[in-house]
Amino acid sequence: MTTPWWQGAVVYQVYPRSFDDADGDGVGDLAGVVRRLGHVARLGADAVWLSPFYPSPMVDFGYDVADYTDVDPLFGDLATFDRLLTEAHALGVRVIIDWVPNHSSDRHPWFTAARSSRDDPRRDWYVWRDGRPGGRPPNDWESTFGGPAWTYDPLTAQWYLHGFAPEQPNLDWSNPELAEAMLATLRFWLDRGVDGFRIDVAHEVGNVPDPPPGVASWPREQDWPGGHAVLRRVRGVLEEYDGDRVAVGEVYVLDQRRLASYVTTGDELHMAHNFVFLRCAWDATAFRDVIAEFTRLAPAPAWPAWCLENHDHPRLATRYDDDGRGPARARAAALLLLGLRGTPFMFQGQELGLPDAVVPPGAVVDVDGRDPERAPIPWERPSVAGPGAGFTTGVPWLPIVDDAEHLAVAAQRGDERSDLALWRRLIALRRESPALGPAGAQTLLEGEDDVLAWLREADGERLLLAINMSAEAVRCDLTALGGGPGRLVVSTDPDRVVATDDIDVLGLAPDEGAIVRLT
Ligand code: TEU
């Protein structure tokens, strides 16, 4: 069996609103993505995952979809999407798109029809229930964004379910016509040539059970039993096509046993994002335990997907910055992400070590306060390109990060000490190294508590990777760690001189990560 492309891929998440704005309206667009594909290709990424670009009222910035088979005029049109696909493929970059099967927008024509009458043929494409006496909702479930998960619709005098905003009514996958209509939207994009899908809240899709007696609240990170059957049907659609089309799920469950159940049967998701990993403290033991547990629960041929940033979470440089060490930790985290067995998913701007932007109260636009991590990419130095930092000639929809002058792509390009140079180096190494590739075995090493260390090996190549997650310098005896002498090939510390002689002891500065080629 040949290795599917996505097992060897580095996937780069593009959040189109904030990537590049080609038409100067302050919001990024697909034409902007097209003209920056070279950046993605030069970085060495193998695929992009595009966050939603569908027609949308933008209550949740595109995760409220009003048409699953078109492009919002704000982002362009289908012709621009096709151009994106063609140009990406010409550069050897695959394209994965976001698919939001759990809910649509309340402006989707399906919902407009559904709410028009209890007898409408589309009524049961959504989840309707009678309220409790006294004008109370069917139960006390809360939505992820806060407030009740039910909204009363006066015209038909029933309540509809929404796990997120009231403008995002849940679709009812137990309805066969809805299921067929949604699966047809997958075929629409597969026929156009997309390489796969990132499935939004994959764990909440499925038959919605009536509230179990006595359960008042809807637990966060709920997964529904019916969801697995839905994902099997999604997989079936992907397998109608050639080319190893891939499904990666956003499975936001914090119990790795349940998480693993989405990827171990071989007929559901190919990969699932691991939020236990994303939510780890900066602590070697915590990371080691998560990796070890997932590896045990999801052994080969199941395949891990690792990510540490996305459009919903504070960026690494900010999240791990409690003592001013965020930037160094973000660099070490690059080595973690790219050095593990599994497919790394990175978020645009992670290669620049971007922190969150400072968003003043008056500039907050997201329902869930996720604006800081969604700040636009600074392509150019503001001193050269003006306040839009090469992202836009207009007024950016969110503030640009404070230190864009030094963090901009143009400022980092050509600087060997930059984060961008480190990412390129690590991705290039990953590409040429059998040990870091899909066939590379992985062994977690026991050693210093504060050092996360692991071995990757294939075809006689042995690489030892180590990250010092403490505030003290440490010395790792390579032989004791299970290695023997070796040669330092990469350090995440820009001040470290990578010498060419063999070492027996690897010294690591606080928050430094390194790769040693064992000899
Ligand atoms: O996220 C689902 C999800 O669980 C998030 O709401 C997450 O808990 C929260 O953002 C943490 O702050 C997906 C999308 O990634 C997100 O952008 C959407 O808002 C959400 O689904 C609804 O579609």
pLDDT tens-digit map of 5-26: 999 999 999 999 999 999 999 9
The one-letter amino acid code at 225 reads: P
Residue with the smallest CA separation from ligand 1 atom 2 is: 201
Residue 13, helix vs strand vs coil: strand
Tell me what percent of the chain is helix, strand and coil, each rounded to the nearest 5.
30, 20, 55
Is the confidence at residue 216, as pLDDT, over 60? no
User: Which atom of ligand 1 sits closest to the CA of residue 369?
Assistant: 12
How far is ligand 1, taken at its centre, from the CA of residue 20, in Å?
Answer: 22
Q: Whose CA is nearest to atom 12 of ligand 1?
A: 312
| Confidence at residue 140, expressed as pLDDT on a 0 to 100 scale | 85
Amino acid at 471: A
Closest-lying ligand 1 atom to the alpha carbon of residue 252: 4
Ligand 1 atom 1: residue of nearest CA:
201
Residue 2's pLDDT band (boundaries 50, 70, 90)?
Answer: confident
Looking only at the bridges linking them, the beta strands covering 11-14 and 451-458 are unpaired
Say yes or no to pLDDT of 506 above 60. yes
Q: How far apart are the first and last CA of the chain?
A: 31
Helix extents (H) in 99-216: 109-114, 176-192
Examine the pLDDT at 206 and tell me if it is beyond 90.
Answer: no
Tell me the C-alpha to C-alpha distance, in Å, between residue 191 and each of 87, 174, 184, 187, 188: 17, 26, 10, 6, 5
Does residue 449 have its Cβ closer than 6 Å to ligand 1? no
Average pLDDT of the chain to the nearest whole number:
95
CA atoms within 13 A on the CB side of 129: 23
Ligand 1 atom nearest 144 alpha carbon:
6
How far from 95 is each of 82, 83, 371, CA to CA, in Å? 11, 12, 25
Each residue's pLDDT tens digit, 142-198: 899 999 999 999 999 999 999 999 999 999 999 999 999 999 999 999 999 999 999
Residue 130 pLDDT > 80 = yes
Q: Considering only CA atoms, which residue is closest to atom 5 of ligand 1?
A: 312
Q: Is there a contact between 513 and 468 (Cβ–Cβ < 8 Å)?
A: yes
* Ligand 1 midpoint to CA 487 (Å): 43
Question: Whole-angstrom Cα distance, residue 272 to residue 275?
Answer: 9
Backbone Cα Rg of the chain: 23
DSSP reduced 3-state for 144: coil
Whether the per-residue pLDDT at 217 is higher than 70: the answer is no
**Separation CA 316–CA 336 (nearest Å):** 12
- What pLDDT, on the 0 to 100 scale, is given for residue 226? 82
Provide the token pair at 151.
């909204």
Kindly provide the b/e burial profile for residues 378-409, where b requires at least 16 CB atoms within 10 angstroms of the residue's own CB.
bbbbbeebeebbbbbeeebbbbbbeebeebbb
pLDDT mean over 490-519? 94
User: Running DSSP on this structure, what letter comes out for residue 400?
Assistant: P
Q: Would you say residue 211 has pLDDT above 60?
A: no
Question: How long is the chain?
Answer: 519
Please name the residue whose Cα sits nearest to atom 8 of ligand 1.
Answer: 144
Question: What residues act catalytically?
Answer: 200, 240
Top mutation candidate among 49, 59, 63 for ligand 1, by most atoms within 8 Å of CB: 63
Tell me what pLDDT residue 212 has.
Answer: 55
| Mutate-to-test residue for ligand 1 from 68, 205, 312, 374, highest number of ligand atoms within 8 A of CB | 312
**% residues pLDDT > 90 (the chain):** 90
Position 447 confidence tier, pLDDT thresholds 50, 70, 90: confident
